[in-house]
Amino acid sequence: MSDYHGRTLELLGLESNHRPGEAPELQAWAETNGVKLSAAYVEWATLDQGLLHKYSNQDHFWLHRPRLETLETGTRGLVFNSENQNNFFKLCLLDHGDDPPVLFSFCHEPWSKYSDRFSDCVYAQIFDWQYQLEFGRGGGSDIVYSGLISLRTQACVDVLRARYPEVATTWFSIEGGTFAEHRFLPSSRERIVAMLQPDGKASVRAMAETFDLTGRLEGQLLEMLGDDVVAQPFHSPNSPSHLLQMLGRRIDDGWLTQVRYSCVTLPTAGAMQRLVACHRSLSLARRGNDMYFAGSEMEVGGPDWGVLLRLKQTDSRGTWWVIQEIVEC
């Protein structure tokens, strides 16, 4: 039975057969360096068996031979993790109890708080990546779809707290701005991360065990957060074909809520019915063939489609476009 990491093992379905063991290499390192290790750190070092690396973007973890670092305050800590290109590092404080805080440093900026407890840091790592990766037979992994919702305000945290258990919060500072990540657990197969930004805005990421479940969760969150949602632009360089192809895929997947919230002005039920009927009679992808953008705004469709899409460029290069509105015609 794990004393500190039981909930992390539960996320992975390993709570019944994953037991803490011994860490002779780590203990020898600690004795050589005159370090008293925290109980939570030692326990995870015996449990990890490559799990943190597996559930990451190929990041580096050296739990058994960490780097001993002394902060400007004289406090010491163990640097045990770096991002795959060494853009950020994490440090577990020494002499701060059995389950000590973890600090974060981006590009060698001053250390700042990442988590209140080491066990929260481990839990957050698994939580964030478990359903963002798909593993192949050879052991490799690919990042899969997750629903990312941009929001005008940070009211989402109170909305989510009223509905779901909140499980772990972490923080990270970049160039003087601090971001907070609040995590919520709707079910054993679903994950939500709400990121609060220094500018007062926020984003919510929906992840789940399957593609269909992810789409359903994303749709529920869009409806829940409603007026706070910011329509996201599509990457569609030179031509609306890619944008139309993505809309068609969402219609085929039954993700009509995602289609509605892709628009700055939410379309009416009648406009949505016309769009779906248009796609069913001839796919939006095929309708977009041989179309090219002209100027920073464009109308796509018309009476022969039964629906009109008004698009607007959002970047200087013309590669990102947002749907202003979808109307009947």
Rounded mean pLDDT of 282-297? 92
Q: Do the domain assignments include residue 1? A: no
Each residue's pLDDT tens digit, 96-131: 999 999 999 999 899 999 999 999 999 999 999 999
One domain, residues 47 and 149:
no
- Which residues, in sequence order, are bridge partners of residue 303? none
Name 224's Cβ contacts closer than 8 Å, sequence gap at least 6.
159, 163
Residue 91 lies in a domain: yes
224 and 240 share one domain: no
**What is the average per-residue pLDDT within 78-101?**
97
pTM: 0.93
Residues spanned by the domain of 194 = 133-230
Label residue 47 by pLDDT band (50, 70, 90): very high
Buried b / exposed e over 33-58, threshold 16 CB at 10 Å, is: eebebbebbbbbbbbbeebbbbbbee
Asked if 29 and 55 sit in the same domain, the reply is yes
- Strand-pair partners of 60: 82
**pLDDT per residue as tens digits for the range 123-167:** 999 999 999 999 887 767 899 999 999 999 999 999 999 999 999
Q: Residue 274: enclosing H or E segment and its boundaries?
A: helix 269-281
* Pair (143, 202) in one structural domain: yes
CATH number, domain containing residue 99: 3.40.1580
Q: For the chain, what is the domain count?
A: 3
Give the C-alpha distances (Å, rounded to integers) separating 51 from 6, 22, 63, 166, 182.
14, 17, 11, 23, 22
- pLDDT confidence tier of residue 19, bands split at 50, 70 and 90: confident
Q: Which residues of 123-142 are buried (b: 16+ CB within 10 A; e: fewer)?
A: bbbbbbbbbbeeeeeeeebe
Q: What pLDDT was estimated at residue 16?
A: 65
Cβ-based neighbours of 184, under 8 Å, separated by 6 or more:
160, 161, 163, 164, 165, 166, 167, 191, 192, 193, 194
- Domain assignment present for residue 28? The answer is yes
In a domain, 267, yes or no: yes
Q: Which amino acid is at 236?
A: S
Listed residues 206, 230, 254: the one ending a domain: 230
Q: Looking at the domain assignment, is residue 87 inside a domain?
A: yes
Are 116 and 17 in the same domain? Answer: yes
Statement to judge: residues 239 and 201 lie in one domain: no
Average pLDDT in the 63-75 region? Answer: 95
Is 244 a member of any domain? yes
Whether 182 and 250 share a structural domain: no
Q: List the 307-313 sheet strands across, edge first.
A: 234-235, 320-328, 307-313, 297-302
Average of pLDDT values for 212-225? 98
- Strand-pair partners of 143: 133
Q: Are residues 310 and 242 in the same domain?
A: yes
Phi, psi of 40 (to 5 degrees): -65, -35
Contact 4, 119 (CB under 8 A): yes
Cβ burial, residue 176 (10 Å; 0-12/13-18/19+): exposed
Give a yes or no: residue 268 inside a domain.
yes
Assess whether 68 and 118 both reside in one domain.
yes
- State whether 159 and 257 are in the same domain: no
Q: Exposed, middle or buried: residue 209 (CB in 10 Å: 0-12, 13-18, 19+)?
A: middle
Residue identified by tokens 């949505």 is 272
How do the residues of the chain divide into helix, strand and coil, expressed in percent and rounded to 5? 30, 30, 40
Same-domain check for residues 114 and 186: no
In the block, tokens 């209140």 appear at 116
- Which CATH number is 175's domain given? 3.30.310
Among residues 71, 105, 129, the one where a domain terminates is 129
**DSSP, residue by residue, 84-131:** TTSSEEEEEESSS-SS--EEEEETTPPPEEEESSHHHHHHHHHHHHTT
Among the three residues 108, 129, 150, which one is the final residue of a domain in this structure?
129
The verdict on 200 and 242 lying in the same domain is no
Phi-psi region at 126: left, alpha or beta (left = phi > 0; alpha = psi -120 to 50): alpha
In a domain, 109, yes or no: yes
Question: pLDDT category, 18, cuts 50, 70, 90?
Answer: confident
